[in-house]
Structure 1
Amino acid sequence: MAMTITEECINCAACQPECPNDAISEGKKVHEIDANKCTECKGTYDEPQCVAVCAVDCVVTSAAVAC
């Protein structure tokens, strides 16, 4: 499963340098996470680092968006 950045993103870019897989990039409206690179930081950190630093809590699992 990968993380997803929702429309609430304010483009602060705090998450981008925290990603150990370089999976986050600036999108047209909000930052985006490449699902092929995202590992949810499993094996590296206890929690996804993008979630830990997000100022507006707009990073969720892709499964949460599909609901």
Structure 2
Amino acid sequence: MMLRKTAAAYCELSEAAFEREVASGALPMPVLLGGKPHWHREQIDQHLADMSGAGDWRASSNLYAA
């Protein structure tokens, strides 16, 4: 479980950007633990995996073409 600051850093986002992604539904809502919002790393990972779709997005990018 991660506090907002740690969860945002895990996603390499500012805390404000992280909050926008949570509010938009792109990232999971927190749960209260000890009276503070915490995010579960595996839920964040699942949301990020869902965002990227099936496969590696770089495979279809000219920037990363082999």
TM-score greater than 0.5 by the shorter chain: no
TM-score by length of 1: 0.29
Report the structure, 1 or 2, having the larger helix content. 2
With a CA cutoff of 8 Å and minimum separation of 6, indicate the structure with the bigger relative contact order: 1
